[in-house]
Homo-oligomer: A and B are copies of this chain.
């Protein structure tokens, strides 16, 4: 198969750029607060890029399997929107970047009406988990997993239950957030049941190829370019991509928007999902994180590609 020109150019240069970025892993640290995540290979860096014709290039440790963590929040947001519509969702979660840490509680206490500022910080994602339809936590989790499978075109996605349990056992801050939300009247359900759903979708295991495929669906406005099936209403994808631009990279979202200019979402297992609108889906993994919680090498690699290929949307 002959690669398109862009992918062919990428294929040639990718190994070099990847190694240059990999050097930065020495400055980062794997996530310490979830013990299972701390075990990840610190020097790893992998990337997978997929275009609308199904062509792909990859480099580095692209075979690494890792948990989605916060990347899953983009997709639970989509499912919550499909389940409830915009009005219900945005009565419980705001639309603004916060400038605070992803697990901060300051604005819940300080800013009326005490709802999370956006669905990509922890507080917001916990509320989103509570909005997923399903009679039990198991049914909710099952619906979320099937949705992830559909978007990734990978029916074999499943949980890393060691990570799920490790996170549940140590997630005191998330419990604190959830009880605060319950006190503010934003969370109706039982806290442990909501968190069970939340920890499960955070612990779904993927590879860079899975993220690239999921990103490509977003890049194509919710339509799977391979099957031509509209998996998510375009308006909801637009909303998700906007949030990825304004708050997808934790407290470094603004910086990343200026450097790369692409919608993206990172997770503390080192994954980053990004896309070039209308053209490419991209999955990256590099478990060494910078001080903001983003893959230090992954951010550098995406910024390099965006600069080299002039991908910024701005």
Interface centre among A96, A107, A182, A312 (most CB of B within 10 A): A96
Which A residues from 229 to 248 make CB contacts under 8 A with B?
237-239, 241-243, 245-247
Contact between B99 and A98, CB atoms less than 8 A apart: yes
Indicate whether A254 sits within 8 Å of B99 (C-beta atoms), given known contacts A172-B183, A245-B245.
no
In the assembled complex, A57 has its CB within 8 A of some CB on chain B? no
Copies in the complex: 4
Contact between A96 and B253, CB atoms less than 8 A apart: yes
Contact between A107 and B97, CB atoms less than 8 A apart: no
- Chain A interface size, as a band, is 35 or more
Contact with B along A143-186 (1 / 0, CB 8 A): 00000000000000000000000000000110111111011000
Residue in B96, B106, B182 whose beta carbon sits within 8 Å of that of A172 in the complex: B182
For this complex, 18 residue pairs linking A to B, each with C-beta atoms less than 8 Å apart, are A95-B255, A96-B97, A96-B253, A97-B97, A97-B254, A99-B99, A105-B180, A106-B106, A172-B180, A172-B183, A173-B180, A176-B176, A237-B314, A242-B258, A242-B261, A245-B246, A246-B253, A313-B313
